[in-house]
Amino acid sequence: MFWYFVKLIIMLPLVGGMAFGALWLWRKYQPGLLGAQGDRALKVLEMLPMGTFGKLAVVEFDGQRVLVSVTRSRIEKIADGARVITPHTPAPGSDPRAR
């Protein structure tokens, strides 16, 4: 009976740590996750589940935001958003050299 408790005391934190580590790795390295995008050309800004298999997503590419519908069988563009002005993206019609 003593060895049972010794094994339990050793294995319980080990299994808990493995579960915590697996969840942490899944959150960090899952592609498309909002926090793990860094400096990529294509970014998923928001995603909203719609029903069992559908999702609405706001995607940013080349400074433009696009609302897309994602299902198991297709991805459709629903609407274009406003152009996002960032420090390294010049506004449309402006000349960055003119100062």
> What's the average pLDDT block by block, 10 residues per block, for the chain (99 residues)?
90 95 82 59 86 89 90 91 65 56
Question: What integer pLDDT is reported at residue 73 of this predicted model?
Answer: 92
For the chain, the first-to-last Cα distance in angstroms comes to: 82
Bridge partners for 67 per DSSP: 58, 79
Question: What integer pLDDT is reported at residue 49 of this predicted model?
Answer: 87
Question: What integer pLDDT is reported at residue 20 of this predicted model?
Answer: 95
Q: Which residues of 84-93 are buried (b: 16+ CB within 10 A; e: fewer)?
A: eeeeeeeeee
Question: What integer pLDDT is reported at residue 47 of this predicted model?
Answer: 87
Question: What integer pLDDT is reported at residue 32 of this predicted model?
Answer: 52
Q: What is the DSSP letter of 84?
A: P
Question: What integer pLDDT is reported at residue 40 of this predicted model?
Answer: 76
pTM of the model: 0.49
